Amino acid sequence: MGASQTPISCSLVRGTNWIGDAVMTTPALRRLRSSFPAAHIILLATPRTAGLFESSAFIDEVLTYRRQEGWPVFVETVWALRRRRFDLALLFQNAFEAALLARLGGARLRVGYTTQGRSALLTHAIQRGPQHRTHRAARLDCAGRGHRMRSLHAARMPD
Q: Give the domains, in start order, of the chain with CATH numbers.
A: 7-149 (3.40.50.2000)
Do the beta carbons of residue 49 and residue 18 sit within 8 Å? yes
Rounded mean pLDDT, 27-41: 92
Rounded mean pLDDT, 14-34: 91
Full-model pTM:
0.78
Taking alpha carbons only, the member of 81, 87, 34 closest to residue 58 is: 34
Q: Residue 72 contacts by C-beta under 8 Å, 6 or more apart in sequence?
A: none
For residue 157, the model assigns a pLDDT of 30
Q: Could you give the CA distance from residue 121 to residue 24 in angstroms, rounded to a whole number?
A: 25
Q: Could you give the CA distance from residue 94 to residue 7 in angstroms, rounded to a whole number?
A: 26
Crossing angle of helices 26-35 and 133-149, rounded to 10°: 10
For residue 142, the model assigns a pLDDT of 57
For residue 151, the model assigns a pLDDT of 32
Q: Residue 77 contacts by C-beta under 8 Å, 6 or more apart in sequence?
A: 44, 63, 65, 101, 105
Condensed to tens digits (0 to 9), the pLDDT of residues 51-104 reads: 999 999 999 999 999 988 889 999 999 999 999 999 999 999 889 999 999 999
For residue 143, the model assigns a pLDDT of 54
